[in-house]
Structure 1
Amino acid sequence: MELVLLILVGSLIGIAFLALQQHYSYWRRMGVREIRPKWIVGNLMGLLNMRMSPAEFICQLYNHPDAEKEPFVGIHVFHKPALLLRDPEMVRNILVKDFAGFSNRYSNSDPKSDPLGSQNIFFLKNPAWKEVRLKLSPFFTGNRLKQMFPLIEEVGASLDAHLRQQPLHNERMRCFDLEAKELCALYTTDVIATVAYGVSANSFTDPKCEFRRHGRSVFEFNLRRAAEITLVFFLPHLVPLLRFKVVPAEATLFLRKTINYVMSEREKSGQKRNDLIDILIEFRRSTQMAKESGIKDQFVFEGDILVAQAVLFFTAGFESSSSTMAFAMYELAKDADVQQRLREEIKDALVESGGQVTLKMIESLEFMQLILLEVLRMYPPLPFLDRECTSGKDYSLAPFHNKFVVPKGMPVYIPCYALHMDPQYFPQPRKFVPERFSPENRKLHTPYTYMPFGLGPHGCIGERFGYLQAKVGLVYLLRNHMITASERTPHRLQLEPKAIITQAKGGIHLRLVRDPLGI
């Protein structure tokens, strides 16, 4: 009996071994160059052991000796074969030219346990994604941004006032130290709350600000949080089973309650603010009118599908812009010449505008735009993009490969950070050089090698808004202060290994010197 049992166990182990061997030989059988995987985890060990940040991990795959000179390479995300693109022309095909066959992200959350995380336009699948995106687009037109500007500028003035009220740590040097990311997050939280919801978050004055507390909880990465978000991007089919969430439960309750309350009060008052709440109310009314008219097959804008868009605008809007501002502050602290040139540009623009921060004045800051473009090259908010093949028929990779076709459901990863840091496209990539993005130099860039906000139809809908709030914040920050390094400022930032987005490990500690431009 024991011998039979031993033979049975041995046979099962042997079958499992052969099955895994067959599974992990997929790319060799397809005639595709691969980065050799480890069993179970595939090629994700460098991400899962958290010895490096996701940005550095994706760079390591991109620069792997087995991927050298290849337009794409086969990898395994856990058990699943996936493609890692390396050629800019392939990036163009997947993100733009053949978008219809790759219109969904591979990443996903669970509609039941995480309705606000899964139903926003970042994670929504077609055709719902297309419908919602189309209706949200009017919120980001040039005319709408013009209407929002006074609200953004008002928060910028609050940032300036907040900084001028800070006690000086050194009276002789007229300076004080701070953590830049948190300061910038207070500013962007207030901007989003007032612009999108018509609510005053009061982040600068209220240390218990609920908007800031719940916003922080979405992007604070402990070990559990890192595991949740890693599975969302690389093993989404397990997310419903483990009930992992993009938006934590407490934040979900607060944001749902707040947004529904604001929508209800706005409908009662009939007030119009031309903000996101007004657009969501219009969505809901269109659904109600369709029901009353007996129209069928129309997308339903009710409940959490509405709240989810407001939550995405809040979370993505404050986090990406605050990170960009904080990284910009760090690079300006390291390069006094660039900072001086920027402050001179701001001073000249303020003189021209009579000391007023206006939309025209902000749009005239050409050197600031170059700085932000370079900051986003070095620190893109997401270090990679993910897509899933949704083509009804297998997708050919010719002329890059004449035999292999991409099957439906296969994940495809675009390594944004690695392309940004490739010296082939951006010489001396670790050097901060805003002039890379001057009009003359941009003509020399290889297309589809720069994508801090994504590219194609799935590109970030709020890109222009993000630039605008970052510029206003930096103008008010630099108007009365100069940024320098402190004893806690590292010579080179380390990126947080637990964060799927680009974050500085341990924060960004800097020193501000009170030095008004005199305008």
Structure 2
Amino acid sequence: MRRSDASARGVIVSIKDVCDLYNTDMIASIAFGLRSYSLRSTQSEIGSHCQDIFRPNVRRIIDFFVIFYLPKLVPLLRPRLFTEPHAEFLRRVIQLVIEERERGGDLRNDLIEMLLTLKKEADLQKDKSHFTHHRDFLAAQAASFEVAGIETCSSSLSFALYELAKQPLMQARLRREIRETFEESPAGSLSYELIGRMQYLEMIVEETHRKYPIVPLLERECTPINKKRFYSLRPHAECYARRGMPIYISNLAIHHDPKYWPDPDRFDPERFSAENKSHQAPMSYLPFGAGPKHCIGMQIGQLQIKLGLIYFLRRHRVELCEKTVERISFDAKFALLASEHRIYLKVADCL
């Protein structure tokens, strides 16, 4: 079979695995200042380490439970978010990248550049206690990007592609918007402003977050105003919340409540058209939380997902195949919202 014939017919892939590799490359560039080439070689060291944190085992489940549900016991039990080999890898990589940047003087608008700027400011002020002098603090900044930016974005991206494969007309409309946007750019590349004007892409991403909120449970702490000891939940419920009490909010349940979202299991980007958004009930859409504790990485996460959809669908289309699951079921053992089964799709070149 000729290569062009095979490309036209398409290949069946586990789309989540492809999205993992893409987001590993993105985070490697943003957080570590490196080119990981995970999409070219699935055996890259940084790709392997980035996936390590999301491989569950009994010890990690216990550590996660303590961190999120028994925080007062953290100083005593000292749970670990990262394994020791993974933590040492992060320290080594960040140290090497910073030393290389300082020797070469290269400028790159990324996290490493920001850390170097802070380090230079601390050196000028002769502040030996500044956090930039502690390699664990430096590595922790990159680690936070790794935790927040790989699994969350790759899951959202794979869910979006799954829904687009189920609705070819919707996919065609998005691909048309992508093509028209590239035609607007004289250099054939995209700017942040051009991406921001892609309204249908925005609607697709928002509806994906509505149907599949990757962090399905929001955690808050009760802090009554006026220093009161209790906060009344009346008229919504006949109970009180005590100051300091942890509060857990299921945004997955809210996003699938027909009171706020009619026919909630249907993937419908038109819910987020300019006209329909104005009718949404306040606090009924919480994929990134709300208020002063909302997700600080919301903007960069959204951009990662949009870029993934743009460059994937610019030259490829996704279709259902005999191995595609009819309906997504969620993995109860996973802390984030994840599919219990692999999502297989047929990927073909766009001729």
Give the conservation status (yes or no) of the 8 Å contact 2:203–2:270: yes
Q: How do residues 271-286 of structure 1 correspond to structure 2 at under 5 angstroms?
A: 271-286=106-121
**Which SS does the other structure have where 1:171 is aligned?**
helix
Give the equivalent residue in structure 1 for 2:71. Answer: 236
Q: Which residue of 2 aligns with 1:384?
A: 217
Higher Rg: 1
Q: Is 1:334 the equivalent of 2:166?
A: yes
Aligned match for 1:433, one of 256, 268, 276: 268
Q: How many residues align?
A: 345
Aligned mates of 1:172, 1:284 — CA distance in 2: 49
Q: Is the 8 A contact 2:233 2:239 kept in 1?
A: no
Cross-structure match for 2:234: 400
Corresponding letter in the other structure for 1:341: R
1:289-304 matches, within 5 Å, as: 289-292=124-127, 300-303=131-134, 304=136
Question: What are the within-5 Å matches in structure 2 for residues 245-394 of structure 1?
Answer: 245-292=80-127, 300-303=131-134, 304-353=136-185, 356-359=188-191, 360-389=193-222, 393-394=227-228
TM-score of the pair, normalised by structure 2: 0.89
Are residue 450 (structure 1) and residue 285 (structure 2) matched? yes
Aligned CA distance change for structure 1 residues 357 and 271 (closer, same or farther; 3 Å): closer
**Equivalents in 2 of 1:231, 1:511: separation in Å?**
41
> Matched residues in 1 for 2:110 and 2:348: separation?
36
Which residue among 475, 489, 492 is the counterpart of 2:310?
475
- 1:327–1:404 Cα change, 3 Å: closer
Is the contact made by 2:164 and 2:170 (CA closer than 8 Å) also made in structure 1? Answer: yes
Distance in 1 between the 2:27 and 2:7 partners?
37
Q: Distance in 2 between matches of 1:370 and 1:256?
A: 39
> 2:153 and 2:219 mapped to 1: Cα distance?
21
- Residue aligning to 1:217: 52
Aligned to 2:41: 206
Matched-pair contact (CA < 8 Å) for 1:196–1:275: yes
- In the alignment, structure 1 segments of 5+ residues that lack a partner are 1-166
- Tell me, yes or no, if structure 1 residue 193 matches structure 2 residue 14: no
Q: 1:473 to 1:408 in 2, by over 3 A?
A: same
On the 8 A contact 2:149/2:301 being kept in 1, the answer is yes
- Residues 350, 271 of structure 1: alpha-carbon distance in 2 compared, 3 angstrom cutoff: closer
Q: Deviations over 1:449-502 (max 9, x none)?
A: 111112122222222222222222212211221111122211111111111111
**In structure 2, the residue corresponding to 1:489 is in which secondary structure?**
coil
Alpha-carbon distance in 1 for matches of 2:238, 2:12: 59
Change beyond 3 A, Cα 1:403–1:420? closer
**Partner letter of residue 92 of structure 2?**
K
Deviations 1:223-262 (A, max 9, x none): 4433332332222334454443222222111111101221
Distance in 2, Cα, partners of 1:502 & 1:239: 25
1:421 counterpart residue number: 256
Q: Cα–Cα, structure 1 residues 177 and 278, in superposed 2: closer, same or farther, change >3 Å? A: same
- Residue 357 of structure 1: how far off its partner (Å): 3.0
User: 1:311-354, CA deviations, whole angstroms, 9 ceiling, x for partnerless residues?
Assistant: 11123122222111111011011111211111122222233335
Against the structure 1 CA distance between its residues 468 and 230, is the aligned structure 2 distance closer, same or farther, given a 3 Å change threshold? Answer: same
Q: 8 Å contact 2:13–2:344 — kept in the other structure?
A: yes
Percent identity, please: 37
SS of the aligned residue for 2:31 comes to helix
Aligned to 1:17: none
Q: 8 Å contact 1:222–1:498 — kept in the other structure?
A: no
Question: What is the distance in 2 between the residues matched to 1:355 and 1:415?
Answer: 45
* 1:270-298 deviation line (CA, Å, top 9, x unaligned): 33212111111233344444455x9xxx8
CA RMSD, Structure 1 to Structure 2 (Å): 2.6
Q: CA deviation at 1:265?
A: 2.1
The alpha-carbon distance between structure 1 residues 461 and 498, as it changes in their structure 2 partners (threshold 3 A), is same
Please state how far the C-alpha of 1:374 moved relative to its aligned partner. Answer: 0.3
Change beyond 3 A, Cα 1:487–1:228: farther
CA contact (8 A) 2:166 2:319 kept: yes
**Partner Cα separation in structure 2 for residue 241 and residue 488 of structure 1:** 47
